[in-house]
Structure 1
């Protein structure tokens, strides 16, 4: 599957560093696409939201850390950067500071999901 400039731009606009992803996946676009679209079923964002709503700092940290890992491995740069900030705040036990990142995390998560549709086609 060769990426068109239009698709690449859509990924980059969603905060996905596609050049980094290709380097990370050895230039194998098909492998990256196959793994990246699986993010739609990843439970960590929803679990993070749930933990923050329940005021469960420890679980929120665990879910933010997992989300950061997934985002980093798939070169979801914007999501990774915000998840890293949330993770640091939650690691320090600051639930409110961690919760303050939720709107940005939600927007980045939704942007990634929207952009991944171009990989599935």
Structure 2
């Protein structure tokens, strides 16, 4: 929600600046100011540029600050997604390392069985009776 508001605010302030620039240029042309490369009146030009600079720099500063906050919030979201991804990857890696350790231990263990053969004669011990 914050990101949408900041995004709309940045776009609207930029468009307001562009519209204001167009209106100022149109207003200066209606007031009789003519721009010519051959004839430049430095005093009038500096006044006009100061007005445009004062108005547009303030509006576009607001645009810049809102885009800065937008960048901050987007990076914060990406950091949370990356952190979650790293946690999942860490759990997967840990699981497979445990599985590899188990398989390595299982392959290295040798089983030996001692098998004793029994005959029917010595299968059941008998009691020797002394008489």
TM-score (norm 1): 0.30
Structure number with higher helix proportion: 1
Greater relative CO, 1 or 2 (CA 8 Å, sep 6+): 2
Instruction: Report which of the two structures shows the higher radius of gyration computed on alpha carbons.
Output: 2
